[in-house]
A and B are shown apart, each in its own frame.
Chain A
Amino acid sequence: MLAKRIIPCLDVDDGRVKKGINFVNLRDVGDPVEIAAMYQEQGADELVFLDITATNEQRKTMADVIERVSSQVFMPLTVGGGIRSIEDMQTMLRAGADKVSLNSAAVNNPALIQQGAEKFGSQCIVVAIDTWWNEETEQYDVMVKGGREDTGLNAIQWAKVVQKLGAGELLITSMDADGTKNGFDIALYQAMDEVVDVPLIASGGVGKVEDFSEVFQETNVDAGLAASVFHFRELTVDQVKAHLREQKVVVR
């Protein structure tokens, strides 16, 4: 049976892994190759690299980072942040990425999902959806621009649409849960599972190992992603996996 995947996310700025709170007070965490190798050692199943500045110039730096990481670290690599065209996808895939993740660009230009899937295969195209629960309309809204702008789109409907366009995987971040360390937004993933047939990655809210067992036991998500708890060494991937094994969740 397939193992549930644990995915550390690395925020990259100017060729270095950085970490801040809400993109301010960025702190240098280290060299991407060293950090990726450390996560491989800990038993991470996949890595997501997020280009947090995402200017044209930075994209070249990011491609170089991926080139270097993929020469030393042998697991699936996903690149997101500022990918707006087929050429951007091509650049990252050629550099050694296995998948690219589209977020705002998918909302602005949904055809890009289909074009990417046709050219590179659905397995290469991840659509990232940032969402929060809108109390007034009682729906999950799709947020863009790093969670700063509410599109008013219904995230559940949007998940259906991007799947139809050819997204091979969905990375769903709960902006409500993100940064709280109170655990994943279980209701969100249960709702998503009703409409999603492709692999689903849960993101946002991790504070402790039990948050991972909860999301895998209460929902059908395939993977859990976290950034800060891993970066700041509050948790290691092997700790998470040891806990999941105890809880009879299949992990690698």
Chain B
Amino acid sequence: MIAVIDYDTGNVKNVMKALTYVGLESILTDDADEILSADGVILPGVGSFGPAMDELNKRDLVPVLQEVVQRKIPLLGICLGMQLLFETGYEFGQHQGLGFLPGKIVEIPAKEGLKVPEMGWNQNEVLQPASRFAGVDGKFTYFVHSFYADCPQEIVVAGVQYSTFIPSVVSQGSVVGMQFHPEKSTDAGLDLLKAYKGMVEEYVDTRN
């Protein structure tokens, strides 16, 4: 069972439908016991960095997520959910993030002819061919965002060219982030969710 973190963010159901499609059952929850007993945890997110962190704090979810990382339960952040995994966010002021990954969330630089938000399909280039998520190389995935992760290259599995190089898949240990929406990226996205499923299955094996 996958715990999808419930903190009042938009359109979580589509993530759950995609999980069902790749064979992962999921529940939407903000209950600590349910989250910590799950085989995998997904932090979704649509909206803005500050209010999202406020909502996680209001529901006392930050220590629960810290425990998730400590126990090495595969944690996948999607879109804003990925951004929250980093140390600091600079969307409408400066906000402290969860700090599971090194780096900060900054605005996509303006460039003539390129619109912000970046909205649409962009092509991934893989920097870590040995990663279980390397199958995304050359594939297009669906992005909707105005901010991106400025982070050390060691954790960048893949990225896309826009007004700057934008990390699209980041990973460190049991923590994974995807800047695009895998649940809206047809086969390429579903394949990434299947790769995450592989992580979940390995975790379940080690736990048992």
Residues of A whose CB lies within 8 Å of any CB of B are 1-3, 5, 40, 45, 70-72, 74-76, 93-94, 96, 98, 120-121, 123-124, 168-169, 197-199, 220, 222-223, 252
Q: Which residues of the partner chain B approach A40 to less than 8 Å between Cβ atoms?
A: 186
Q: Contacts A123-B144, A199-B115: A5 and B120 contacting too (C-beta < 8 A)? A: yes
B174 CB within 8 Å of chain A: no
Could you pull out 26 A-B pairs where Cβ atoms are within 8 angstroms? A1-B122, A2-B119, A3-B120, A3-B122, A3-B140, A5-B120, A70-B14, A70-B17, A71-B17, A71-B20, A72-B21, A74-B183, A74-B185, A76-B184, A93-B11, A96-B13, A96-B17, A121-B46, A123-B46, A124-B10, A169-B119, A199-B115, A199-B119, A199-B120, A220-B113, A222-B120
In chain B, positions 17-39 with a C-beta closer than 8 Å to chain A are: 17-18, 20-21
B189 CB within 8 Å of chain A: yes
Q: Which residues of the partner chain B approach A71 to less than 8 Å between Cβ atoms?
A: 17, 20-21
B183, A252: Cβ atoms closer than 8 Å: no
Q: Which residues of the partner chain A approach B13 to less than 8 Å between Cβ atoms?
A: 70, 94, 96
A1, B123: Cβ atoms closer than 8 Å: yes
Known: A3-B120, A71-B20, A94-B13; 7 extra A-B contacts, CB below 8 A, are A3-B140, A70-B14, A71-B21, A74-B190, A76-B142, A96-B11, A199-B120
B10's contact among A120, A168, A197, by CB below 8 Å, is which?
Answer: A120
B115, A198: Cβ atoms closer than 8 Å: yes
Using CB atoms, name the residue of chain A closest to B185: A74
- Min CB distance, B78 to chain A, in Å? 13
Q: Which residues of the partner chain A approach B142 to less than 8 Å between Cβ atoms?
A: 75-76
B121 CB within 8 Å of chain A: yes
B162, A1: Cβ atoms closer than 8 Å: yes
In chain B, positions 104-130 with a C-beta closer than 8 Å to chain A are: 113, 115, 117-123
A3's contact among B14, B17, B123, by CB below 8 Å, is which?
Answer: B123
Distance of A165 Cα from B142 Cα, bound (Å): 25
A98, B47: Cβ atoms closer than 8 Å: no
B94 CB within 8 Å of chain A: no
Distance of A45 Cα from B140 Cα, bound (Å): 10
A1's contact among B17, B46, B117, B161, by CB below 8 Å, is which?
Answer: B161
Mark interface residues in B134-148 (1 if CB within 8 Å of A CB, else 0): 000000101010000
- Min CB distance, A1 to chain B, in Å? 6
Q: Contacts A74-B183, A74-B190: A123 and B123 contacting too (C-beta < 8 A)? A: no
Q: Contacts A75-B142, A197-B115: A5 and B11 contacting too (C-beta < 8 A)? A: no
Q: Which residues of the partner chain B approach A45 to less than 8 Å between Cβ atoms?
A: 120-121
Q: Which residues of the partner chain B approach A252 to less than 8 Å between Cβ atoms?
A: 121, 123, 140
Q: Which residues of the partner chain A approach B21 to less than 8 Å between Cβ atoms?
A: 71-72, 74
Distance of A40 Cα from B187 Cα, bound (Å): 9
- Min CB distance, A47 to chain B, in Å? 11
Distance of A123 Cα from B145 Cα, bound (Å): 9
In chain B, positions 153-192 with a C-beta closer than 8 Å to chain A are: 161-162, 183-186, 189-190
Q: Which residues of the partner chain A approach B144 to less than 8 Å between Cβ atoms?
A: 123
- Min CB distance, B118 to chain A, in Å? 7
Q: Which residues of the partner chain B approach A222 to less than 8 Å between Cβ atoms?
A: 115, 119-120
Q: Contacts A70-B14, A71-B17, A74-B21: A168 and B186 contacting too (C-beta < 8 A)? A: no
- Min CB distance, B53 to chain A, in Å? 17
Q: Which of B10, B113, B121, B186 has the most CB of A within 10 A?
A: B121
